[in-house]
Chain A
């Protein structure tokens, strides 16, 4: 397996053919992104190299790779291709241009002609956050380029919580993205490789699983017997090299990728002969100007044999040599890595913060946070101010307060340091951030105490921005527990102070808290105005997270007060925004908005859509909440408390849909939502979760449980003045026979129903466009027309339990021509008549005019005309009589 020899790849022709085909299409102006997955050692790199070799004369080939470093270089693969790409891209990278400029330059690069471009990006499972965002960016726009971007990744390393998983999910719905999975070799292929050698092919195949790297390592060692692991195979091969060559290998293993070949001889204390020997043996290969191991698995195997002290020594040597290189060739991320591994405190403190700033500039926040964590590990003995500055920088890039428990340790440290340097304003601010972290970890009592301490300090210092910030957080805390009156009060004070002291970001955050509190308190106009103002500021200052958050908060807030049409618009805007900005840090907002969209569409009767949204959010695994108080080093910061919190609205939505449909597996879903909720105390979803559980209990006929669930939240929600949630809970208590009078603070439609005015309630629900609730109100009557209308609606929605109840009621009333079961819904589905259209059809059958139908359904005559036209079109008839005849023929209406 000497390098440079053109290998005939076994069983890869189909893949190569497919990729060549994609490149041909790219040549015609139809670009593609191919994601090539496979286990380590399965030959992804061999395939890409073979492809590059084959198309070399007809395409421009650019190759970049992601580093196997704990803190990979931000946009490392793009750095790799810079020298082969056009001058513009290289300049932008050198000149620290803004991220979106670089992204666009890459896109331009991929559209150059006349030949198509093949851009290979290897090992994207190690990609830094900026590169992942680039993949999202490219994935959506690749079709317009003249390129094939081929990204490889280790499938087995991309679990459900891996950042690449979300990117792959995104790309799944993009056009011009192809996913391919490279399988191991078959036994026949292994047999071919073994050739005439004296080896038990079956045993080799079983041991290696057909993994090409493993197989070829074994074959290269030329020993009898099969080494038990891939590692052993590699080491056996290495053992045959001379001692200098083995030193070179060890040094190369420590250097890792990207490897700087100039310094290898010095670090290993060998001459070039030894390195040639490594190349000749195939353990190292030349990669353009640089060197690399034949495979990362080989490097890992060698690395494992180096003792820790020797490793530190080598890292030290590498660091020294890298530092001696000219400035332009230095990469602070790589230097920080070696400094850390060498245990060189001064070097770490020199390079890690610089690397962090570089990464942050490119929005590779994960990597920035990891660099700060690295610096902090070596920060003992630093003056307090510097230490505090590092911690604050870390907090900023990792959204520490949103993380809950892992934010507590660092924040406590910041408080101690602020106190030590006598900065009272900072002390108060950090205390309030701590309160937020404690609150999101559901340690409410501790949070209150921290906040009280912060307020006590503020009382002693002249009013300033610190006050504005702390009050803003206090408003947020109150909001989280739906303590709305104080939330609004503190929010108003925060806004006032932020305006007075002229700080835009603080003002925006204060408006966010205030607006949110007003919205869910049903002060819709003012709440919306506040949030719109927050949105404006966010746009002005260019804060994407704040903008996405404001849109999502507008959506969720409006949804909570049953303004579903408007909520839908804002939520869609938030999702579109997050999609268009290709920022990993917006993923949280996207999932949050989609989860809320599920709830919103549930109430709008769009159950298929709602279910799909819920399933989307639930599909991405979220790790169990990190309850440790210090973040694990290099941890992936995920925004927002318990990262599973975002699942709660999705679970409520899906649970309600299943319950209303009469589908199985309702309890597991709603129980999971309960398990994810804070163990005690009011919180955002207390009311709606208990209402969902009450409804589920009702629909399976468990009256007692309905009351139990409703009681669990009723008093709190009434006291908090949450009219809609209180309304629904009161409704369930009423149906369960435990309530006769609605309390004062209850939303109108529910109040009407409890007082027995089903018609008024139905009308109110119609205005809100809640077909299920409207039908449910009508179903409480004894009026045959209303019951038939309800029947039609339930039938159209597929609400089996309610449908059965209404059918029963109609029978009890002695109604004739009773619909005989699900027949109509299936036929209606086939004719694609909506529930509303079915209602209109019923009324036409009863001989009502458009005006009469309009009155009955609380619609305008114009809308009725609209529906009639739609019915005629769907049934392919030209008159109302024709519609009736056709509907009877199709079984939508009973034969008269």
Chain B
């Protein structure tokens, strides 16, 4: 298990409908991720919604890609990262 930063580009801008439809879409993503042993932690979205930086926990880059494909999400770049917190060092 490792933590990955996944960068995605959305040329049309990412559109997730507000409300039930959006919630259902996100939960669909969560379920398909589960099938691959991948957990979506959270994402950062640029203001123009053209790019997202997503934090994932998963077993391998291949699992991340497989989950992305099943969810019709693009993958630009995958980087393995570790969490560094300002309060980590006391």
Please list the residues of chain A having a beta carbon within 8 angstroms of any beta carbon in chain B.
608, 611-612, 615, 654, 658, 661-665, 798, 800, 821-823, 825-827, 829-830, 891
Contacts and interface: CB of A to CB of B under 8 A. Distances in A.
A825 B11 CA distance: 11
B49 interface: no
Interface string B61-90: 110011001001011111110000000000
Nearest to B12: A891
B72 A830 contact: yes
B80 A615 contact: no
B17 to A, nearest CB: 18
A664 B11 contact: no
Contact of B11 (A654, A662, A891): A891
A827 B12 CA distance: 10
17 contacts: A608-B66, A611-B65, A612-B66, A654-B62, A663-B61, A664-B61, A665-B60, A665-B80, A798-B75, A800-B76, A800-B77, A821-B76, A822-B74, A823-B9, A830-B72, A830-B74, A891-B12
Interface residues of B, number: 21
Given A664-B79, A664-B80, A891-B11, A826 B74 contact: yes
Contacts of B9: 821-823, 826
A665 B12 CA distance: 31
A663 B74 CA distance: 14
A662 B72 CA distance: 20
Interface string B1-34: 0101000111110000000000000000000000
Given A663-B78, A800-B77, A822-B76, A827 B62 contact: no
A669 B12 CA distance: 37
A615 B77 contact: no
Nearest to A664: B80
B15 to A, nearest CB: 14
A32 B6 CA distance: 40
Contacts of A825: 74
A827 B74 CA distance: 8
Given A611-B62, A823-B9, A664 B4 contact: yes
Query: Which residue among B4, B12, B61, B80 has the maximum number of chain A CB atoms within 10 Å of its CB?
Result: B61
Interface string B37-78: 000000000000000000000001110011001001011111
Nearest to A800: B77
Closest 9 CB pairs of A and B: A826-B74, A664-B80, A663-B61, A822-B76, A611-B62, A891-B11, A823-B11, A663-B78, A822-B9
Query: Which residue among A664, A665, A798, A830 has the maximum number of chain B CB atoms within 10 Å of its CB?
Result: A664
A481 to B, nearest CB: 33
Q: DSSP majority for the B interface? A: mixed
Contacts of A611: 62, 65
A500 to B, nearest CB: 52
Contacts of B72: 830
B76 A826 contact: yes
Nearest to B59: A615
A823 B65 CA distance: 17
Nearest to A669: B60
A665 B11 contact: no
B77 A662 contact: yes
A800 B79 CA distance: 12
A891 B74 CA distance: 14
A830 B12 CA distance: 13
A392 B22 CA distance: 68
B62 A612 contact: yes
B76 A665 contact: no
Nearest to A663: B61
Query: Which residue among B8, B77, B79 has the maximum number of chain A CB atoms within 10 Å of its CB?
Result: B77
Contacts of B75: 798
Contacts of B77: 662, 800, 822
B59 to A, nearest CB: 9
A644 to B, nearest CB: 18
Contacts of B79: 664
B5 to A, nearest CB: 9
A503 B8 CA distance: 63
Contacts of A658: 61
A822 B51 CA distance: 11
A747 B60 CA distance: 34
A395 to B, nearest CB: 40
A661 B77 CA distance: 9
Contacts of B4: 664
A829 B75 CA distance: 10
Contacts of B69: 608
Nearest to A828: B74
Contacts of A891: 11-12
A615 B60 contact: yes
Contacts of A612: 62, 66
Contacts of B60: 615, 665
Nearest to A823: B11
B54 to A, nearest CB: 14
Contacts of A665: 2, 60-61, 80
Nearest to B10: A826
Given A608-B66, A823-B11, A830-B72, 5 more contacts: A665-B80, A821-B76, A823-B9, A826-B11, A827-B11
A661 B20 CA distance: 36
A611 B78 CA distance: 15
A822 to B, nearest CB: 4
Nearest to B76: A822
Contacts of B10: 826
A829 B62 contact: no
A680 to B, nearest CB: 31
A853 to B, nearest CB: 27
Contacts of B80: 664-665
A865 B48 CA distance: 40
A821 B51 CA distance: 12
Given A664-B79, A822-B74, A615 B62 contact: yes
Nearest to B61: A663
A661 B66 CA distance: 14
B8 to A, nearest CB: 8
A611 B76 CA distance: 18
A791 to B, nearest CB: 16
Nearest to B5: A664
B9 to A, nearest CB: 6
B26 to A, nearest CB: 19
Query: Which residue among B2, B4, B11, B72 has the maximum number of chain A CB atoms within 10 Å of its CB?
Result: B11
A816 B78 CA distance: 29
A33 to B, nearest CB: 21
A683 B11 CA distance: 49
A669 to B, nearest CB: 10
Nearest to A615: B62
Contacts of A663: 61, 78
Contacts of A664: 4, 61, 78-80
B52 to A, nearest CB: 12
A891 B13 CA distance: 13
Contacts of A823: 9, 11
B32 to A, nearest CB: 16
A658 B61 CA distance: 8
B74 A829 contact: yes
